[in-house]
Amino acid sequence: MLPHLTLMPNPQPAESIRLKILSILPADLPVTDLQGEQELLTRLADSSDENSVEIFWRLVHFYRVAEKNDLACKLINNMLEADDSVENKAYCYLVLGQIAEVRQQFDAAIDFYTRGLTSRTPNKVTKYFLYNNTAYCLNTRGMYKAAESYSRSAIELNPARANGFKNLGVSLEGQNNLVGAAWAYVEGVRADSRDPRCLELLKKLVAGHPELAAQFTLLLEHDTSDRVTQS
């Protein structure tokens, strides 16, 4: 999932940004007969609309949902050429990595995320997802030690999200640190009880390793009870 667009303020005038975005759009748009595409293109062409960057990314998201990822990637690569600011590069590489993930091209996704981190963006939301998503992809490749490092970096940036704890737990479980994995899942549940993934992974881990039951079953039941009470 894409994070909410929180790009840093751009010192360029809104009209300059709008014209730059219009210049990088392919000439053959629109490519669908869907009303949403035409509405976004119309808004980009409207000189009175100052939200050009946000609309551009909504258009990219539209093409992703419409399963036109090649076009989405083309737009992002055009944006990379048009704006070399660290904030823009980081966000572009984040979205390119997410598209690669959807295609299960995990090595390519890792490369994109790494490029995004290299830009050293000050945007903590973008940086969090770059670290977190890199950890996820590394876990899929069995590179658990490296994934642990990226997960911890994500958690350090924002311990209120469950994602980082989930990926940390998977990486520790992959290194046979079962107690550490269980605690990571517990912390993920505590960070955001609305996200069910850490709780499900904890249940699965305890069910598969009875030696953990004495330490975690009561805690697991307590957390589950709290979730029911809060719902």
Co-location of 1 and 105 in the same domain: yes
Tell me the DSSP string of 70-106. HHHHHHHHHHHHH---HHHHHHHHHHHHHHHHHTT-H
94 and 180, same domain (yes or no): no
Picking from 59, 52, 57, the residue whose alpha carbon sits closest to that of residue 31 is: 59
Which range marks the domain in which residue 81 is found?
1-122
Residue 175: the pLDDT is 98
Q: Do 153 and 221 share a structural domain?
A: yes
10 domain residue, yes or no: yes
Mean pLDDT, each 10-residue run in order, the chain (231 residues): 44 78 94 96 87 94 96 97 93 97 97 96 96 98 98 98 97 97 94 92 93 79 48 26
Residue 75: inside a domain, yes or no?
A: yes
Domain annotation covers residue 130: no
Q: Are 4 and 42 contained in the same domain?
A: yes
Q: pTM of the full predicted structure?
A: 0.88
Same domain, 5 and 108: yes
> Based on the domain organization, do 4 and 95 belong to the same domain?
yes
> In the chain, how many domains are there?
2
Place of tokens 């520790």: 172
Confidence (pLDDT) at 204: 94
